[in-house]
């Protein structure tokens, strides 16, 4: 068990008892997987923003047809709710990975989040959608 300070070790238990690294190959493989997970998290956030903007436009109408009223029981709202729950789970997984205080894993979370933002959020530059938190 490591103290609660940043360290550069390769021996780490990550999230589950079955995800244990004990050498450089294990930590490098985990870094790659965590980087992809963080990028997917950003993609999921941006996909949810995209769905929200499209649903908002649908509710406002487009001049050719009357606006649709939002409904808690609509299929799109259920889909967005499921995506939100997945985003919460992945976000907490990333937070817990960062809280291993393993520098390599912290870098993977950060680089993956940055890469995902670069890859998926480039259209947000002209939008007023902002993140209050991750």
**How many folded domains does the chain comprise?**
1
| 130 within a domain of the structure (yes/no) | no
| 133 within a domain of the structure (yes/no) | no
| 129 within a domain of the structure (yes/no) | no
Looking at the DSSP bridge assignments, the partners of residue 21 are 12
What tens digit of pLDDT does each residue of 49-85 get? 988 887 766 666 555 666 666 677 778 889 999 999 9
Mean pLDDT of the chain: 87
- Residue ranges of the chain with pLDDT lower than 50? none
| 128 within a domain of the structure (yes/no) | no
| 3 within a domain of the structure (yes/no) | no
CA distance 134 to 118: 16
The H or E element containing residue 20 is strand 20-21
Give the residue numbers spanning the domain of 77.
Answer: 12-122
| 93 within a domain of the structure (yes/no) | yes
Q: pTM to 2 decimals?
A: 0.81
| 132 within a domain of the structure (yes/no) | no
Give the C-alpha distances (Å, rounded to integers) separating 12 from 21, 29, 38, 61, 96: 5, 12, 19, 53, 13
């Amino acid at each position: 068990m490591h103290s609660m300070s940043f360290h550069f070790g390769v021996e780490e238990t990550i999230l589950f008892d079955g995800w244990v690294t004990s050498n450089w190959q294990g930590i490098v493989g985990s870094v790659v997987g965590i980087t992809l997970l963080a990028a997917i998290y950003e993609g999921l956030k941006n996909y949810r923003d995209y769905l929200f903007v499209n649903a908002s436009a649908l509710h406002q109408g487009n001049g050719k047809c009357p606006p649709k009223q939002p409904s808690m029981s609509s299929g799109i709202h259920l889909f967005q709710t499921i995506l939100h729950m997945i985003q919460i789970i992945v976000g907490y997984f990333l937070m817990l990975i960062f809280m291993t205080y393993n520098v390599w894993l912290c870098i993977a979370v950060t680089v993956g989040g940055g890469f995902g933002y670069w890859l998926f959020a480039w259209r947000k530059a002209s939008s007023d959608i902002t993140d209050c938190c991750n």
